[in-house]
Structure 1
């Protein structure tokens, strides 16, 4: 049996590694230290803020608000990527940035479009549900129509994995020549990067 000898009166120093913050702790800290996105000001406070701005005095909260607004404007000014980074349609040259439509929406237009989008999505969801219910009913009817010796085999689920060398099943037919077009554009963009 081994013994650890220590001097009398001396404290044993425990060396602990620096504790890494968990994702939850980081999230809580970000939430607690975050500033309000929109400040709620009374009319009197708004007038005082405007007067201070005229004099050239900007409060810290107003300065942060202005920085956030400028950052958001810059983000919305750049064209959003269509697809995964590096293979998005704009950088591959398949979509022209000038031909992308630019929308100027009011709040009422946004609400109207959101309602219309919700209706369309709900309609699609109901159609999908109805199709799935019909497929399950037809499957049950087909199993019931089988003879007894085949019915037992049909009730056992097939758990074999989908073949890796095949494309996944899709609800819509594939577009002819689309994959070749994307691969060709990817090769061209990689060749340009190599030249740089």
Structure 2
């Protein structure tokens, strides 16, 4: 943790009014306080994953929507629609192929993923469809996860991609007993 994050945690420790936490603080149970901050935020608070699993992203895509519903008719219009769909598929492939995870905390990654799964001209008469759900919501949701209390506390702002909003993490992971003690005894 940075000195600024430790200072924020220090202030939060003494400002927390949750009865269970107050009891831990009053008894000096630093390990239990660290566990409390390392538990899921309640209510649920979403963050953009730095390790969004490609398998989860792939599961959020209706791949059949990349296939034109209209039969080939030999026109340039039909061919152009197919090329547009293939371009979107290629962009998606570039993002995901050979990777176990992607860093969805980056706006450019989210924008590129979303672009690859929306406005694909493969519906009837070339209507746009969204293999990733309306506005890419299914794919963007796969790029989020519930935050821990410490991650919520140290989040550095919200970011919206399509219709999904989640926080950007300034700190990721659990807080250790040592970090909690450091924060607790700052002067």
- Judge same fold: TM > 0.5, yes or no: no
TM-score, length of structure 1 as denominator length:
0.22
Query: Relative contact order (alpha carbons < 8 A, sep ≥ 6): 1 or 2 greater?
Result: 2
Rg comparison, structure with higher value: 1
More strand by share: 2
